[in-house]
Structure 1
Amino acid sequence: MAKTIFEEMGGDYVRQGDYDLPCLSLPAEKENQLIGIWGQRHLRYLKQHRKVFYTNLLTSGKLNSYLADIDKQAEDRFLRLVEQMAEREGVTEQLKAENQMEWVGRMNNIRSRTMEIVNEEIIIK
């Protein structure tokens, strides 16, 4: 019997009942990086809306590093925007010392707007 292309490339088969299934494995990534909330959100987006791109990243062994990079970009953008908006709107440490409830409300508002911006610009691009 002639060898299949998979066997010619050095692949093996394992017998499962009446079937010979190829022994497949994903390439290992160089380093296992932690993925934060932004990376997890982007992963969910890829799985739901960009399945081919997700599968290509997964099978090439680049998914984890890609998500870690997206997470870092999004976190940096988020922190920079929060700082800039707070400065522009006059939300300072002095306001925090004088009226804590107003400071918390305004900071929550800024964080919510910033989360929407980062989500639109980076996560679901």
Structure 2
Amino acid sequence: MKERFIENNIEYILAEDGMYYPNLQLPEDNETRPIGLYGSLRKSYIKESHPVLYMDLILSGILTKHLSDINEAAYDRMDLIPKQMAEQQGITEQLKSSDWLKWLQAMNSIQASAREPVLSEIVYA
């Protein structure tokens, strides 16, 4: 028996049990960017809610790239939305210097409010 053979462009290898198995390998994921908080949340979401998409991303070797892209997009929005909301609500640096506790409460509230659309529109979409 041959140790290896190719049929339909797939290489088969003879195993110890006498059966031939396809020599399949996952493509390497060469992404070096971190996946971060939002990437981790996205990974958990698609793994549980969309297992076919999750496996497709793994098998195509782009899971880490996808998660890194989601993380960057979410952080970009988290930089933009609070600034816009603070401007709309009149939260200024002058308020920060005159009443820092009120400024801190307002900014914490804005951060919490900004997190909701980021999660729903980017991470869980």
Same fold (TM over 0.5): yes
Name the % identity. 36
Indicate yes or no: 2:83 matched with 1:83. yes
Deviation at 1:7, TM superposition (A): 4.2
Query: Aligned partners of 1:32, 1:23: CA distance in 2, in Å?
Result: 27
Amino acid at match of 2:45: Y
Structure 1 unaligned runs (5+)? none
- Is the contact made by 2:11 and 2:22 (CA closer than 8 Å) also made in structure 1? yes
Residue number in structure 2 paired with 1:47: 47
What TM-score results when the alignment is normalised by the length of structure 2?
Answer: 0.84
Q: Taking structure 1 as reference, are residues 19 and 107 closer, same or farther at Cα in structure 2, changes over 3 Å only? A: farther
Q: Report the TM-score when normalising by structure 1.
A: 0.84
Q: More displaced, 83-92 or 16-25? A: 16-25
Give me the whole-angstrom Cα distance separating, in 2, the residues matched to 1:14 and 1:101.
Answer: 71
More displaced, 22-31 or 106-115? 22-31
Letter in structure 1 aligned against 2:109: N
The answer to whether the 8 Å contact 1:82/1:110 transfers is: yes
